[in-house]
Structure 1
Amino acid sequence: MMDIVNKMAIATKHLKVIEETFIKNDKSYKENELKIEKLPSYKEIKRLIYYGGKKTRGHDRGARQMILADLVQYMLVCRGTYMMEMKEQIEDYKKLIMYVVNRLLLQENISIDVKLRRILMGALKKEIPEEHFFEGDYHRERFNETLDFNESIIWGECDSKYYHVLDSLLPKSRGCAIELLVYLYLLQRNFGYVVPLLVNQRVYADKDSIAPPDMLLLRKKGEVFGIEIGGGKEGQSRNFSLATSIPTFSVELTGDQPFRCYTCNHWITYCDEVINQYAKGIPKDNRDSINCAECQNFNDGECLDIIYYGENDEGKRGRHHLTCVKNHKVIKSHLNNKEWREEHLFAYFPLVVGLADFAEEIDQITKN
């Protein structure tokens, strides 16, 4: 992925060289540049490309975490999707999305890992010019306070000012991961042609605008449906449907994935076996998990990706890394029990709920 990010940097550098060359050597181009710079809203336009912090009031489409997420999705969805045209590349494209999802979840772990959080914050402050990295004194002060904060930063469990700073440093990591997983799921089902609108926060017509759903499904007989990821957007979906007559459905990942380990509080990533199987298509029986005890990588429970579902010694019931709880008394005594393993040890596929009423149909479209 680092090479892909470097390619993005090369592309922007290419544009920069074009700009610098023409501004320096073409008088008309230089005059055009001055006209652009004199636009009253030019400063705000620049902020839409990179903003030095997180906006906590008003529209957040210009906030840094949204901008970074747009760049990730541009690379994977707007450009990477062309890999779907080559049959031999399709599985690699699906795996790439899953691997990037894991990276996004690993990034989110700086909410728990104070040492890594400080390393990242120090690196960003060093590498990005201060006049760009901080939108003003307010963002600089909040950043420094967060840098000194020595505890976990989880929404609802700490002062929100720390969360807002941390959120602004990453590409909307968990939210971006969920959007990519829903997109991948739709690519693997024959519900219709998928039109991702992930980087289009609003669509415009003269002086009016609406917030579109995250994706559109184009189906036969002229049917178009909106797909909104996650709940809490009923008003937005209603306004879109009223304005366009396009019905919109809300969907989410099964079991409210991705999961956070109830013991260590780190995010649980998707294992190689899940990724390899999922890249070949949705499980035919639509099962949402692999029983880890039956997996070729189980290795007598030594696989680092095994998920235990149940209670730990502290009575916290949920999903845990088995490595976090395997020495707990309530678990250690059962590890060699086959029935217990089948009941408690799983790895999950990122399936989607909310589309039960949709019939698959692309095969019929392409044959007609």
Structure 2
Amino acid sequence: MKDIFERMSNGLRHLEVLHEVFVNEKNFDNEEKTDYKIYKQNQEELRKLLDGLDFNSQLYGKKGRQMILADLIEYIFLGRGYYSIQSTKDKENFVKAILHFVNLLMCYEAMTISNNLRKKVLERLGQEIPEIKKEKYYGDLKDFPGAVGLKRGESPAPQHIDRYFDSLLPKTAGGLWHELLVYVFLLRSNFGYIIPLLLSQRLMGFDDSIVPPDFLIIAYEKRIYGIEVGRGKEAQAGSFSLQTAIPTVSVDTENSRVSDRCPICKRWIPFCDFVIENYSDFRQEIVKSEVRCLEQCRKYSKQEISAGKCPFTKYSRDEAKTLEYTQHQYATKLHYHYRCVLGALSGAVRKRIVEAKDKTALKTHYPYYSGLEKLMRKKDKA
């Protein structure tokens, strides 16, 4: 990622150099003074107009910063990065890159429960971007000793600290990674031609504007569909459909199983290498989202998986009266880190679970989003 950030910085610096040369009268010969005057006049008018529009705040600032950071990342992957895709193998590597990047986003959110990482990030931000240190709740968050940014009731942080923490990361709690994953899900599902509108969330007309869905798909049968990431925007999607006659559907992110936060350690559970390799291999037909680790994994042996050696294995099952190894406090159907479950239980109970090699409980998941089943049927009929 460092190379990508450096290249983006180089692009901005390149534009700065152009401006710095042309805004300095000393750089112009006598016969070029008219060029300087024209540039100066236009840049001064431009500055006044952009100041009046509060344009700068749309590029970086406390308000809406998480959206701005997410937009920059989406520009990297969906605004420029996809130009690197020339072949099927390139598409596979692009999907693989997205999954690895989603894991990075999940790692960033370890700051919710790590005072150490949170403080180090805040201190570094304060050094690199001094204006951040002047923001109202910077000091409060930096000195706060407990968890932040979790669901209400799960952390002791007051709401203003939670909100400020959210402003420092790109769309927390899966907002950004769901958008990226839905893109690769649509790509892998081969619905048609995908038009990302994540960076165009208001389409301007002369008299008014409309809010589009996150993606448009030009299906192979020559129809256009809108795809909205996440539920709760039905009114917005309905308005877009009424104004454009483009049918729009929302995909379910809450139950997608790519946003499982371990109830014990409060960390997100990332994608494992097996899932990343298989999902990015288009020769592999993914018929169901759930992966049974003990039956399917080729990265770890059954003994290693059951012993908790894999850091990505999930544990999820209900208690069964006839199965002693399920009779413990974490047999709740929630999705835990398996290693966290083993670490939290007593020796005897832990031993029973390890020896059971529970094929039902030890699992992980491929990216999958419900809500597009009718579109899938249309694709199959085409």
Unaligned stretches of 5+ residues in structure 2: 28-35, 319-326
Q: Which residue of 2 aligns with 1:319?
A: 335
How far does residue 343 in structure 1 lie from its aligned partner after superposition? Answer: 0.7
Q: Which residue of 2 aligns with 1:309?
A: 316
Q: Distance in 2 between matches of 1:190 and 1:360?
A: 12
Q: Which residue of 2 aligns with 1:141?
A: 136
Q: Which residue of 1 aligns with 2:229?
A: 229
Q: Secondary structure at the match of 2:59?
A: coil
Q: Which residue of 1 aligns with 2:123?
A: 122
Q: Which residue of 1 aligns with 2:265?
A: 264
Q: Is the 8 A contact 2:279 2:286 kept in 1?
A: no
Q: Secondary structure at the match of 2:311?
A: coil
Say whether residues 1:155 and 2:151 are aligned partners.
Answer: yes
Q: Distance in 1 between matches of 2:380 and 2:38?
A: 54
Structure 2 length-normalised TM: 0.85
Q: Distance in 2 between matches of 1:242 and 1:282?
A: 39
Say whether residues 1:278 and 2:279 are aligned partners.
Answer: yes
Q: Which residue of 2 aligns with 1:336?
A: 355
Q: Is the 8 A contact 1:188 1:282 kept in 2?
A: no
Q: Is the 8 A contact 1:191 1:360 kept in 2?
A: no
1:243-300 deviation digits (Å, cap 9, x = unpaired): 1111110102454531101110011110111001000138525211222113122242
Q: Is the 8 A contact 1:194 1:217 kept in 2?
A: yes
1:337-362 deviation digits (Å, cap 9, x = unpaired): 24x2x111112101111111114788
> Cα–Cα, structure 1 residues 309 and 232, in superposed 2: closer, same or farther, change >3 Å?
same
Unaligned stretches of 5+ residues in structure 1: 55-62
Q: Which residue of 2 aligns with 1:81?
A: 82
CA RMSD of aligned residues (A): 2.3
Q: Is the 8 A contact 2:258 2:366 kept in 1?
A: no
Q: Secondary structure at the match of 1:264?
A: coil
Q: Which residue of 1 aligns with 2:47?
A: 37
Q: Distance in 2 between matches of 1:212 and 1:308?
A: 38
Q: Secondary structure at the match of 2:282?
A: coil
Say whether residues 1:194 and 2:194 are aligned partners.
Answer: yes
Q: Distance in 2 between matches of 1:47 and 1:207?
A: 25
1:61-107 deviation digits (Å, cap 9, x = unpaired): xx111010000000011111123323332222111111111111111
Determine which structure has more spread, i.e. the larger CA radius of gyration.
2
Write the letter of the residue equivalent to 1:304: P
Q: Is the 8 A contact 1:228 1:249 kept in 2?
A: yes
Q: Distance in 2 between matches of 1:289 and 1:141?
A: 44
Q: Is the 8 A contact 1:83 1:90 kept in 2?
A: no
Q: Which residue of 2 aligns with 1:352?
A: 369
How far does residue 363 in structure 1 lie from its aligned partner after superposition? Answer: 10
> Cα–Cα, structure 1 residues 77 and 285, in superposed 2: closer, same or farther, change >3 Å?
closer
Q: Secondary structure at the match of 2:259?
A: coil
Percentage of identical aligned residues: 34
Q: Which residue of 1 aligns with 2:175?
A: 175
Q: Distance in 1 between matches of 2:283 and 2:122?
A: 39
Q: Is the 8 A contact 2:217 2:227 kept in 1?
A: yes
How far does residue 332 in structure 1 lie from its aligned partner after superposition? Answer: 3.2
Q: Is the 8 A contact 2:317 2:360 kept in 1?
A: no
